[in-house]
Chain A
Amino acid sequence: MRRRVRPGIALVTLVLGGCSIQNYQSIYGNAAAEAQQFNALFIIFLVICAIMYVLVIGFLIAGIVRRSRAEPANVVEDGRHHETNPLLRPGLIGWGALIGTGLVALAIASFFADRSMANAAAHEKLAIDITANQWWWDVTYNSADVSKSLRTANELHLPVGVPVRIRLHSNDVIHSFWVPSLAGKQDLIPGRDNDITIMPTKVGIYRGQCAEFCGTQHAKMALVVNVDSYGDFIKWWRHQLQDAPTPTTPLAMSGYQYVTTHQCSLCHNIAGTPASATVGPDLTHLASRRSIAAGALPMSKGNLYGWVEDPQSIKPGAKMPTIGLEPKELHAVVAYLETLK
């Protein structure tokens, strides 16, 4: 009796785990159609395989127990080709049929899950390009009207209920795009265009992570995905299209001067200013993001100070150099960056 209960408890725990409090970065997050399908498939596999496992273990235990009772006749048939145990032949046939049925059921489930995921890919309504660099994500939203296309970094906003196709590219080594609450992993391979389709079903904030070792700071290459209602998403897009606001306070203006004429402008783009470089993350709306340095630090004034002054102490080896700003310059630069909402 105890032996039958154990797998049942495991199953229940697993199911309850899907309703855990933390599901912003969880493969049981079930926040998108792809994740839901994958989890449904997982449950089907788990149940069928669990049943078979229980049966096999049961028969094994039965075999051991019966053997220890030392029955005299332990041959399947006697010398005249008669079965000793009349249950054995139908039992074996039944067992083979059960296995066959189980496998067919798994194949059918897998087939339908795969086909419906592929179907979703054919009906995308929004196209996004993500280019992975060491160690940050370059995100471009495409639009039929190219002047409304949008570039941001380390953050994705997706509208709920709309299938999105994300094309994945890499500028240097192999990375992997993984937002477990929404979908599975897909690699970003230099020289190759991969893609992944996601249709989010639950509004919320989810965390993604690079899932393929890509260098010293692979662990600090995260991504924040905001799933918004359609109206909020359009509002966000319109806001992102605006150029960076002109600074008004003297400190922010002096920061603007520094950022657009010194080291920052060699790598970063701030729309509407002379800084139009492309090899670093787009900073136009930096202050509206939830994190900086690809999820390494939450957005806050202190973290901005620390990151701008010495990125190498937070992410040693990152491509953003430690400049060694003077305190006055640092105050000005951070004051300006905070205006980039």
Chain B
Amino acid sequence: MRQITPNNVSKLGLAFTFSTATTHGYEAPPLVVAGTMYLITPFPNYLYALDLTKPGAPTKWTFKPKPLAASQGVACCDTVNRGAVYSKGKIIFNTLDGQTIAVDAKSGQQVWRTRLGNIQKGETITMAPLVANGKVLVGNSGGEMGVRGWIAALDEGSGKVAWKAFNTGPDKDVLIGPRFKPAYGSDRGKDLGVKTWPPNAWKIGGGNVWGWISYDPALNLIYYGTGNPGPWNPDQRPGDNKWTTGVFARDLNTGQAVWFYQSTPHDLFDHDDINENILADIPWGNSRRPVLLRPGRDGFFYVIDRRSGQVLSATPYGYVNAYRGVDLKTGRMVPNPDKDPKQGRVTRNICPAAPGLKDWNPAAFSPITGIVYIPHNNLCMDFGAMEANYIAGTPYVGADVKFYAGPGGNRGVFTAWDPLKRRAIWEIKEDLPLWSPALATAGGVIFYGTMDGWFKAVDARNGHLLWKFKAGSGIIGQPISYRGPDGRQYIAVVAGVGGWSGAVVSLKLDTRDPTAALGFANATKDLPQKTTAGGMLYVFTLPR
């Protein structure tokens, strides 16, 4: 929408607010369909429907799924939920204790409910499902709990499982068959999901799908990344650990794998690969090539041909010393041996840190400017590896970590990245890590939020700050732009700090222990002075 432009955004003001009555990290975007706004909260996963046609957007109905309270004890990084989806009159979302629920969008009555996860094994679900062509795609969380990762497709009408593919183990579980044609030799072979692990380690090996799934209707393929292998201590799992920390392309109808690319074989630093896959057609040579644009967790911006999985370019978009680079001939990431974590020792100053150069929060791509707007981190870490003990339902990590600011002293960066020129066009340094996704509007304005509560609008061309608003809590949620029932453009975001980076505030942790919150307590130990927990929706618009 083009109503809000760099010229008038400074006049943006509040239209209405809404308190979600939760104070854990709020990572979901508001969802607007036919004059109703839907909000899914972190645990206990309330679903609100707000009537946008009436002044003040009163609640139409609230759906309370009542997930098991014990699931809070096995959610690694705050009890977040990354969003709901709309399809054919239903709102579909996941609950923390591993259920997928479809609710009638008008009445708020449950249509179907399917249990997919088992919290006794440490399994939860935090991701936003994707609906494509009658299939609801869902993946599990639990890479820090020794949970074997999978992706499942449910029938959109009934909620029954149509197919389920694991991300470790024998080919028949991973749905690798005759259609599987990976681009690189190291991914070809039989039962690599077993052979690249010590015996039986793949059963508790991770590879979860807690991030984003994309769909290409022309090729009928879904693209998604797999999470880290378990445990974090790499000495307990020698081998490439397929099919973790990589990108799968699967056929939507059958789930059969078509190609796979592993960003970091034998992952050393918890560099999950679940970040967003942005579909774009870019000029290549004298034609256009369908690609995936991926700002990776390992610090590299990947441009991958989405038909074959071939890497066209992999360029660091920030400071990286943990890897030497990607060998484009073999597709393999070359690690830096100085930063190899060894059991019984502490390896220091590894960049990017475990949350990566960018974690789950999606970047925004503007087809008008051709630039990818990336809100991300500038963190390095110390990593002390030790023996991890597997007990089902408890963490399976084997590492003491702590994070701190990378070179420059700023913990966050907003980078406007040109994927063709392979360099940054402009950059904004931020004090705190940027854990909120970015929004790019057709009007040429970029919106993003900071962890201490500033919601900012910057000019897409040069990054100049045009407008900002201080919300009651830090912002880690996804901002959206929508056309209201009155035809005006609205910008909406929910401010509720938390998630992995904001756990010190949302979970009331003690910052005297730098290893708390899996190392983030050291990086955000000043956050409690800068913001407090909350869960408030803010909707902005231009004055009439």
Contact = CB atoms under 8 A, between A and B. Distances in A.
Direct contact of A and B (CB under 8 A): yes
Given A190-B344, A271-B199, A146 B389 contact: no
B236 A278 contact: yes
A147 B391 contact: no
A44 interface: no
A105 B345 CA distance: 44
Contact of B388 (A171, A265, A272, A278): A278
Nearest to A279: B389
Interface string B142-160: 0000100000000000000
Interface string B239-262: 100000000000000000000000
Majority SS at the chain A contact face: loop
Nearest to B121: A274
A41 interface: no
B104 interface: no
B195 A145 contact: yes
Contacts of A191: 344-345
Contacts of A279: 387, 389
A146 B239 contact: yes
A151 B235 CA distance: 14
Interface in A134-181: 142, 145-151, 169, 171
B73 interface: no
Contacts of A190: 344
Chain B: interface size category: 20 to 34
Contacts of A241: 199
Majority SS at the chain B contact face: loop
Q: Which of A151, A191, A267 has the most CB of B within 10 A?
A: A191
Interface string B344-368: 1100000000000000000000000
Contacts of B392: 274
B544 to A, nearest CB: 64
Contacts of B389: 266-267, 277-279
Nearest to B390: A276
Given A190-B344, A191-B345, A146 B391 contact: no
A339 to B, nearest CB: 18
Nearest to A142: B238
Q: Which of B146, B345, B392 has the most CB of A within 10 A?
A: B392
A243 interface: yes
B200 A278 contact: no
A169 B199 CA distance: 21
Interface string A261-303: 0000111000110101111000000000000000000000000
13 contacts: A146-B195, A146-B196, A146-B198, A147-B194, A147-B195, A147-B198, A147-B239, A150-B199, A171-B387, A266-B391, A267-B389, A272-B200, A274-B392
Interface of A: 142, 145-151, 169, 171, 190-191, 241, 243, 265-267, 271-272, 274, 276-279
Given A142-B238, A150-B199, A278-B389, 9 more contacts: A147-B195, A148-B199, A151-B198, A169-B344, A190-B344, A276-B200, A278-B236, A278-B388, A279-B389
The 6 closest A-B pairs by CB, nearest first: A146-B239, A276-B390, A279-B389, A146-B238, A147-B195, A277-B389
Interface of B: 146, 194-200, 203-204, 236, 238-239, 343-345, 387-392
